[in-house]
Amino acid sequence: MQTAQNPILRGFNPDPSICRVGEDYYIATSTFHWFPGVELYHSRDLVHWEQLPAPLSRVSQLDLRGDPNSGGIWAPCLSHCDGVFYLIYTNVRNIHGICKDTHNYLVTATDIRGPWSEPVYLNSSGFDPSLFHDDDGRKWLVNMKWDPRFGKHPFDGILLQEYSPAEKKLIGEPVNIFKGTDVRVTEAPHLYKMNGYYYLMVAEGGTSYAHGIQMARSKSITGPYEADPQPLLTTRHDTDYPLQRAGHGCLVDTPDGDLYTVFLCSRPLDKRSILGRETGIAQLSWSEDGWLRLKDGGILPPLTFEVNLPEAPVAPLPEVDSFDMDTLPPRYKTLRLPFTERMGSLRARKGCLRLYGRESILSWNETTLVARRLCAHHTETTVKMDFAPADYQHMAGLTVMYDSYNFFYLHVLGTDEGGRELRIIYRDNMDFFDPLDGGAVSLPDSGSIWLSAEVDHTTLRFSYSVDGEHFTAIGGALNCSNLCDEHYAAMKHEGHTGTFVGMACQDLSGCVEGEVCFADFHLMAYRESDT
């Protein structure tokens, strides 16, 4: 028996969907405006998880150019049937205002590592689509339905419609099978058939501090569905609990019949979820009247959990990436587009990641940025960079970023006199700030520069070095509590991601062939702890 701690997938890993194939477990999580789309993880014991290559790696499968911050991939659903993996996902093209543009697609693969097919379009009636494989061979899609009308609640229940694999399209008429409980904001549907019932698992309360998992059941797949008198899991009644915002679940069983739910949650600091929404797990049991309950009988997500499976550890990630590699490992993400020769190269200079300057760090189209998620409340990240800017419109450096509305950027740029200098900018929703008050640090005209960022809970400290040994602080102690979903609420926008730290390069003059601005990164060192 193993005892482990939640969350199992730390850092920005929301909206988990889980499935089992034999003794192997797979989880898919949302990636929003980060590329490639949908994170995949593999485990054999539900405790130790290895990140796999992302399935949506081609622009033909997913083009996020122009998608807003926190748009893009919402709530994928991963399932397996008759030797085929099915992945359903939404590309959300608009999230602001009374309308949402939510296009739902399906891709398939016979191997979880790919290749994955070209997408099949399904519908656009709402987000959080999920595919259910019934025991009679039929397949059914469920998703929430969005209502844009004034005077109506925008979450208008759960739609059910049959999917035809032969025709590769939805068939028949959609049926609204469940309007939800009085908690409202009914979303994230998953269907299961157990003990003679169709069980519908949904999330309610919105993906913040009122979030939770609600169950309903029916003898018929089309309903009517009876709601469980109590939520399966929520922290809405205990806002001081270490795990918050718990909800959006998905079920999985073990070969021995034990039943678990994965769920999203966060570890906020003073109501600030700097790490984003993460993934936890809890064991379930059945009540006498046929409802699922947490094994301990309560409704709070467990801080620890037990698993009766053989331990299957995975290799730890290296603390230092030297970029002497052929491809970027799955932990690295880009914004909206894949890492191609237009963005950068691992071959142009041996042992270096070369990034080519493109649009600004604010762009929703073609930004050159390679980043990894923060997974702990205390992290230290250092990069070694070679960069020879020809102008102050050429810049490259180290960013700590939630998205283009909330970020901090320590960067090298050119001067009017042809030299180099170091500056900091940061953005807090609609406002920009300069911790150096218009000043800059002069740098040698040539040679490598080391840039470092320490995130200690909600405090960020930058430093730099010209020899890799002696570091000088720059910018002071910066309050980085804006790097979270909750900060968006003040702007009345939606934020659903988490904090990343990454390497960036911009050429605001416009790249001319043969005169491309670039920066070479020799390494990225990342160390973390939760103390």
Task: In whole angstroms, give the CA distance from residue 279 to residue 483.
Answer: 19
Task: Write out the H or E segment, with its range, that includes residue 485.
Answer: helix 485-489
Task: In whole angstroms, give the CA distance from residue 362 to residue 332.
Answer: 19
Question: Closest Cα partner for 130 from 120, 144, 117?
Answer: 144
Catalytic residue status for 118: no
CA angle 245, 400, 328 (to 5 degrees): 95
Q: Is 489 helix (H, G, I), strand (E, B) or coil?
A: helix
Q: Which two tokens stand for residue 418?
A: 């042809």
> What is the DSSP code (8-state) at residue 56?
B
Task: Write out the H or E segment, with its range, that includes residue 142.
Answer: strand 139-146
- Specify whether the CB–CB gap between 446 and 389 falls below 8 A: no
Count Cα atoms within 13 angstroms, Cβ side, for 61: 22
Distance of alpha carbon 374 from its chain centroid, rounded? 11
Output the CA–CA distances (angstroms, integers) from residue 178 to 17, 129, 386, in the order listed: 20, 14, 57
- Specify whether the CB–CB gap between 403 and 71 falls below 8 A: no
Distance of alpha carbon 401 from its chain centroid, rounded? 13
Task: In whole angstroms, give the CA distance from residue 51 to residue 329.
Answer: 9
Question: Closest Cα partner for 406 from 272, 523, 211?
Answer: 272
Q: Which residues contact 186 (CB under 8 A, 6 or more apart)?
A: 144, 155, 157, 158, 178, 179, 180, 202, 203, 204, 214
Task: In whole angstroms, give the CA distance from residue 268 to residue 315.
Answer: 28
Question: How long a stretch of residues is the chain?
Answer: 531
- Specify whether the CB–CB gap between 431 and 491 falls below 8 A: no
Output the CA–CA distances (angstroms, integers) from residue 184 to 178, 211, 251, 442, in the order listed: 11, 10, 22, 56
93-97: list long-range contacts, CB under 8 Å, 24+ apart: 93/66, 93/67, 93/68, 94/68, 95/68, 95/70, 95/71, 95/494, 96/68, 96/493, 96/494
**Candidate list 226, 359, 366, 528, residue with the active-site label:** 366
Q: Which two tokens stand for residue 361?
A: 């760090």
Which residue bears the tokens 């998992």? 213
Q: Which residues contact 133 (CB under 8 A, 6 or more apart)?
A: 79, 81, 86, 139
Catalytic residues: 366
